[in-house]
Structure 1
Amino acid sequence: MKQETNHIVWHETAVKKEDRQERNRHGSYILWFTGLSGAGKSTLANALEHHLFKQGLNSYVLDGDNVRHGLNQGLGFSEDDRKENIRRIGEVAKLFVDAGLIVCTAFISPFAEDRNRVRALVQKDEFIEIYVRCPLEACEDRDPKGLYRKARTGEISNLTGISSPYEEPLHPELVIDSDQDSIEVCVDKIIAFLKERNLLP
């Protein structure tokens, strides 16, 4: 039986997002890293956060595998579970934005509809889609988790790029070609983009 929710009312907080941003001396927004497994999303998100941390900025990384150890534990890799995975992360990322943080999310997030749904949760310019573009062949050569090898031998199913589709972003705010540039160069490109958009102090 579906639980009635019409008795649930949003409780306004005394401290607002703008108050937290003012204290932090920077805006808050989502940097949504999307791309194939092995493209370098987590590595890049963590390298970027390290740079932001050294600059005294308040940020946090939400990583696909890490979140599945807790919040999204129990979700599989069917299409429905993938959608629910991203829905939950979107809501958590929205809370981080409200908390005044720069949140770096590293998720394959293969379906454009799901990414757009997260974009719609926050204000304009608070969702920055970063497509970490890397050819499937290069991702397979890296294969840091051994997923492609297992997918090719039938040990696992529903692997994005092999037995499950990946819908490339049509209009991402930024494209990073991780097979062509070093992590340092990729981070520099993101920082330059954020400064150009006046998103960094």
Structure 2
Amino acid sequence: MTATNHIVWHDSIVTKQHRLDQNNHHSPVLWFTGLSGSGKSTLTVALEKALHERGVRSYRLDGDNIRHGLNNNLGFSPEDRKENIRRIGEVAKLLNDAGLITLTAFISPYKEDRDNVRSLLNGQEFIEIYVKCSLDGCEARDPKGLYQKARAGEIKGFTGIDAPYEEPESPELIIDTEQQSVEEGVATILQFLEKQGWITRNSY
């Protein structure tokens, strides 16, 4: 018998719907996936600011930031990458229930792991956003110098070099950061959220 046999879910009186009504917006999870250097973090920072200015409550989960705390015991093996995304999926589910729009910026290279997070949420609340940028484009940017280290053999298992990245097959949105500016990308996402009814044009 495992410990989970003795655990019982304790419901709250305040429900997710109460929180959504109070916030006056829905709480989808916007899952930004793409190669290192594709622009995920830059986009989510700018989008978070735009949502805040509209009075929309959101929270940003960034891959590097999470590895400073919650996931600082994980490496970059396929098994650790899987556990990294599993934990983030559970955190995103809690923030979804809290009524916040969640912005996640993780390479999340494996389709199965992204699909597992989608399955945690109800309906269409998981919005996969493929931040598209070619490997050459990401290497040319290389803001953290990681590609250079990976090419030199200093980093093993680096996505796009000696570890795979499985592109989304049918993401809800594609933001091509080699073709679109940050401002254009944010505008595209905001328009999508408005069209889907997740936020209103005058959320503030």
TM-score, normalisation: structure 1: 0.98
Give the corresponding residue for 2:93: 94
| Equivalence for 1:38 | 37
- Correspondence 1:7 to 2:6: yes
What is the rounded CA distance, in whole Å, between the counterparts of 1:145 and 1:70 in structure 2? Answer: 20
**Shift in Å, 1:3:** 4.2
Secondary structure of the structure 2 residue equivalent to 1:200: coil
Partner of 1:80: 79
Offset, 1:193: 1.0
Letter in 2 for 1:34: T
Determine whether 1:114 maps to 2:113. yes
1:118-157 correspondence to structure 2 within 5 Å? 118-157=117-156
Map Cα deviations across residues 115-163 of structure 1 (whole Å, 9 max, x no partner).
0000000111110000000000000000011110000000000110001
Mapped to 2, the partners of 1:186 and 1:142 lie a distance apart of: 18
Rounded to whole Å, the distance in 2 between the matches of 1:196 and 1:100 is: 19
3-state DSSP class of the match of 1:52? helix
Residue 90 of structure 1 aligns with an amino acid whose one-letter code is G
For residues 75-126 of structure 1, give each alpha carbon's deviation from its aligned partner in whole angstroms, at most 9, with x where no partner exists. Answer: 0000000000000000000000000000000000000000000000011111
1:184 matched to which residue of 2? Answer: 183
Q: CA deviation at 1:29?
A: 1.1
**Structure 1: tracts of 5 or more residues without a match:** none
Alignment match, 1:27: 26
User: 1:167-201 CA deviation, whole Å, 9 max, x = no partner?
Assistant: 00001000010111110011001111111111112
1:23-63 per-residue CA deviation (whole Å, 9 max, x = no partner) reads 00000110000000000000001100100000011001000
Partner of 1:69: 68
Give, in whole Å, the separation in 2 of the partners of 1:105 and 1:82: 15
Aligned-pair Cα RMSD in Å: 0.8
Report the secondary structure of 1:33's partner residue: strand
CA–CA distance in structure 2, aligned partners of residues 29 and 185 of structure 1: 21
The residue type equivalent to 1:28 in the other structure is S
Give the match's secondary structure for 1:181.
coil
Unaligned runs of 5+ in 2: none
Percent identity for Structure 1 against Structure 2: 62
How far 1:4 sits from its partner (Å)?
Answer: 2.6
Secondary structure of the residue aligned to 1:120 is helix
Moved over 3 A (4+): none
Residue identity in the other structure for 2:170:
H
Which stretch shows the higher mean deviation, 39-48 or 190-199? 190-199
Give the Cα–Cα distance (whole angstroms) in 2 for the partners of residues 187 and 85 of structure 1. 26
